[in-house]
Amino acid sequence: MTYWCETLLADGAAVSGVRLTVGESGRIERRDDEVAAEPGDIRLGTVLPGLANAHSHAFHRALRGRTHDDGGDFWQWRESMYAAAGTLDPELYRQLARAVFAEMLVSGYTAVGEFHYLHHRADGTPYPQPHAMELALADAAREVGIRLVLLDTSYLAGGIHRSLLPEQLRFGDGSAAGWLDRWSALRSVLETDAPGAPLVTLGAALHSLRAVPLEAMREILAGLPAELPLHIHLSEQPQENADCLAAYGVTPTAVLAGLGALDPRLSVVHATHLIDDDLALLGQAGVTVVMCPTTEADLGDGIGPARALADAGAPIALGSDQNAVVDPFLEMRGLEMGERLASGGRGRFSPAQLLLAASTHGYRSLGLGQTLLTAGDPADLVEVDAASIRTLGARPEQLVLAATATDVQRVIVAGRIVADRGRLVGSIAAAGTLDGSPAHLLRDALTALDAASYGKAIR
């Protein structure tokens, strides 16, 4: 299969007349620049590399538009999040995740890292079907056609030296050994279900220094494959830093350094509240920092030191986190606008650097390689309308600061068109909707979730 791009934007440069030849593996076999279209080519307009959502909690989408009128802060919002988590079962989770992944896909995300800790029933006991919640996410991703890296998360404590709260019981596995056993079994199941070049792969995560005791963290680090992508929330809230300093005498970053956890396979999420020594440690180790600008703004977390981290040597990737906003262009813009607000200067990240954060850095963070659209890369593409009311007049290289998800046209994952102008393609029957509309999927999922919540409230 061949795709001909009128304009291809990759590695910061706009190239005209690019033909991409895609093999059966879903990877680019050949790229030819400045060539004319040929009969049989699928013709695209302005094309970006596939965009990675490197940090998502799909079930948080149920809170969009429902928690904004009560004020408060992250900790107050967290109570609403726990209530939503307590309602989900495998079928409800599959419905909701399918709708959220579909929204991501039509918005331009071609891959998502799902930071997943809803492992068991609400009382903490396992489901009769092993890995029921994890397989619900995998099924949802396959149905809509998005790449999913399932970042199965260890969550063992309710705070430093504290037991899990009742509303956190479903997150836990009892011990590091319990989590490692379940993770290993899940890996075998996923590899058996989809051999070859699967859309769904397994990574790992440690929820945070608050939620994983040090000895458990040490055991997990020793028990995981060395090449595996590993993620952790880091210094999202000042309280996390204060608790860590009180318990261990050092910052969360320094704790990770002492455990030998800082290396290029690690991604830390948020990293909003850091000191200079933290910046140096993360940068020297080449740790990826996944920032989530729309969530960090929505929850009032603060503006992280993105430019300083990048200058220290830490690649910046982007995520949607709580999915109050699902738009990769707004995350890119939010990264740069936060820097402008904090510094008083424009252009702290160039458009090319923003696109790199949203594409290759995110893909590498998830263990998916790079997306520079050269031979060997995944054939993951995003076509953008360069002549909409938002983008008309923008130079191709600056489209990422003019476009929004509304401007996304065709989306291609592993060489296959999976979305076209806001509609799913090729998965309509599996998704259960006549027109491929993610809105219909989301309406049905939220209706079912609200009904389940009401039923629990009156029992």
Residue entry with tokens 């396992």: 126
DSSP string, 19-79: EEEE-TTSBEEEEE-S----TTPEEEEEEEE-EEEEEE-GGGGGGTTTSSSS---HHHHHH
Q: What is the sign of the dihedral through the CA atoms of 402, 407, 409 and 415?
A: positive
Task: Indicate where the chain has its CATH 3.20.20.140 domain(s).
Answer: 51-365
Catalytic residue flag (residue 11): no
Q: What is the pLDDT of residue 82?
A: 86
Catalytic residue flag (residue 120): no
Residue tagged active-site, from 55, 207, 270, 361: 270
The mean predicted confidence, pLDDT, of the chain is 93
Q: What is the pLDDT of residue 80?
A: 82
pLDDT tens digits, one per residue of 304-360: 999 999 999 999 999 999 999 999 999 999 999 999 999 999 999 999 999 999 999
d(C-alpha 449, C-alpha 179), whole Å: 28
Q: What is the pLDDT of residue 85?
A: 86
Task: Indicate where the chain has its CATH 2.30.40.10 domain(s).
Answer: 2-48+376-426
- What is the band of 77 on the pLDDT scale with cuts at 50, 70, 90? confident
Q: What is the sign of the dihedral through the CA atoms of 164, 167, 168 and 173?
A: positive
Strands, sheet with 316-318, edge to edge from the N-terminal-most edge strand:
51-56, 109-116, 147-154, 200-206, 230-234, 266-270, 288-291, 316-318
Residue type, 442: L
Q: What is the pLDDT of residue 430?
A: 46
Q: What is the CA radius of gyration of the chain?
A: 21
d(C-alpha 309, C-alpha 54), whole Å: 17
d(C-alpha 237, C-alpha 246), whole Å: 15
Average pLDDT over residues 128-146: 96
Residue 438, SS3?
helix
- What is the band of 429 on the pLDDT scale with cuts at 50, 70, 90? very low
In the CATH hierarchy, which fold is given to the domain comprising 51-365?
TIM Barrel (3.20.20)
Find the farthest-apart pair of alpha carbons in the chain and give their distance in angstroms, rounded.
Answer: 68
458 pLDDT above the threshold of 90: no
Give per-residue burial for 208-222: e unless 16+ CB within 10 Å, then b.
bbbbbbeebbbbbbe
pLDDT tens digits, one per residue of 163-216: 999 999 999 999 999 999 999 999 999 987 665 568 999 999 999 999 999 999
CATH superfamily of 2-48+376-426: Urease, subunit C, domain 1 (2.30.40.10)
425 pLDDT above the threshold of 50: yes
Residue tagged active-site, from 321, 327, 377, 380: 321
pTM, to two decimals: 0.95
